[in-house]
């Protein structure tokens, strides 16, 4: 059981403690012990969203993010527990998992709906919400270095926040993700991820949802597109990496990135909140195994983006959508990175420098290092 304790920071932002242990939860229910004493100024107003009529996409303009914290020294980390010398974003002296509203938010804190019929020159409030998920109180690491117990608590936090954010007015898509590594552009080294609640369905998610809906309709509502791909990959086996009772991980047939793996539940479910307790338990083990294999490929940790593709809120798209993780890395060799240049960045036409079958074979045979906290 995960204990959930909400509170507020001194500028009004919501902060929520997620604890597997009752003793930790009891400490966080003590308002005096977890009060934010920084006296922060009121939050800045939301940024703006501009409509690109040439592509039909919304672009967020968040100039206030220019001043966000960038790679601070360990004793000034905003995600570490508060100490007398470091009054951080997390007022408690210790914690398991914490979720809080991002101080340098790309969307929100205002909630609402974007104009239904935008045109060239349309500007609106960048409605929505951005949250930070601190995976652990330790300053170093990533999701892959968590103990199974702590990883399971993070999954519960993702589920709870997905459900809560999905119910907020104007939210069209909830996106949980982790950026890992300086090569990805990480600005805080503390193990953490983020959750974006968008006021629109982002372009990549919209494309996936549209194709899924098209396939679902053509099948008469009998089969999902990702379910068909999963069945095909399991039957072929050429690109399979992990296969368990409730989940499979495979390198997709048309992988865009040098390292790309999709982690898919065997049962169609719209989002993380829809996973059963047994499925979350197994996801904990499978996900840690997968990240361990990724790091075992090279002598140094592999930079990656772990992107949970969840169903849009729109009921017309949810029935065909299928939760899955897209784990991608630009690393194409021990000392080489793939940069998005002309074809990819300008035209969106990806050219992969590796073959999915060879990447899958390398991941299947990789031996994860025993570096998690429970094994150190």
User: What is the DSSP-derived secondary structure letter of residue 46?
Assistant: P
Contact criterion met (CB below 8 Å) for 124 and 115: yes
CA distance 43 to 340: 35
Interior angle at CA 26, CA 23 and CA 29, nearest 5: 155
User: In a 3-state reduction of DSSP, which class is residue 305?
Assistant: strand
Bridge partners of 243, per DSSP, are 248
Residues tagged active-site: 192
* DSSP, residue by residue, 116-182: SS--TT-EEE--SEEEEEE--SSSS--GGGS-HHHHHHHHHHHHHHHHHHHTSTT--EEEEEEEESG
**Would you mind telling me the total number of residues written for the chain in this entry?**
376
Joined together, the tokens standing for residue 175 give 């996106």
Q: How many CB atoms lie within 10 A of CB 127?
A: 25
| φ, ψ of residue 41 in degrees (nearest 5) | -70, 165
């Amino acid at each position: 059981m995960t204990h959930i304790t909400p509170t507020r920071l001194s500028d009004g932002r919501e902060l929520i403690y997620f604890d597997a242990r009752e003793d930790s939860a009891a400490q966080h229910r003590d308002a005096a012990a977890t009060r934010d004493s920084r006296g922060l100024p009121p939050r800045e107003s939301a940024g703006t969203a501009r409509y690109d009529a040439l592509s039909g996409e919304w672009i967020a303009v968040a100039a206030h993010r220019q001043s966000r914290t960038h790679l601070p020294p360990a004793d000034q980390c905003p995600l570490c527990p508060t100490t007398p010398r470091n009054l951080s974003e997390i007022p408690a002296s210790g914690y398991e998992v914490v979720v809080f509203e991002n101080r340098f938010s790309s969307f929100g804190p205002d909630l609402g709906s974007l104009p239904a019929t935008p045109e060239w020159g349309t500007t609106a409030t960048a409605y929505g919400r951005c949250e930070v998920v601190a995976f652990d109180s330790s300053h170093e690491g990533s999701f892959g270095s968590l103990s199974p117990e702590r990883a399971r608590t993070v999954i519960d936090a993702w589920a709870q926040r997905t459900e809560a954010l999905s119910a907020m007015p104007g939210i069209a898509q909830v996106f949980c993700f982790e950026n890992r590594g300086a090569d990805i552009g990480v600005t805080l080294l503390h193990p953490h991820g983020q959750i974006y609640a968008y006021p629109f369905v982002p372009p990549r998610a919209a494309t996936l949802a549209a194709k899924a809906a098209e396939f679902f309709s053509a099948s008469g509502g009998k089969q999902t597109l990702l379910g068909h791909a999963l069945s095909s990959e399991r039957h072929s086996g050429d690109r399979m990496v992990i296969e368990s009772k409730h989940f499979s991980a495979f390198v997709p047939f048309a992988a865009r990135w040098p390292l790309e793996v999709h982690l898919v539940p065997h049962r169609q479910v719209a989002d993380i909140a829809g996973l059963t307790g047994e499925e979350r338990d197994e996801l904990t083990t499978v996900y840690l195994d997968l990240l361990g294999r990724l790091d075992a490929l090279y002598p140094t940790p592999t930079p990656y983006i772990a992107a949970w593709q969840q169903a849009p809120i729109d009921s017309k798209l949810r029935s065909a959508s299928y939760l899955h993780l897209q784990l991608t890395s630009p690393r194409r060799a021990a000392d080489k990175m793939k940069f998005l240049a002309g074809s990819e960045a300008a035209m969106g036409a990806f050219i992969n420098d590796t073959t999915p079958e060879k990447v899958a074979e390398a991941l299947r045979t990789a031996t994860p290092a025993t570096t998690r906290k429970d094994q150190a």
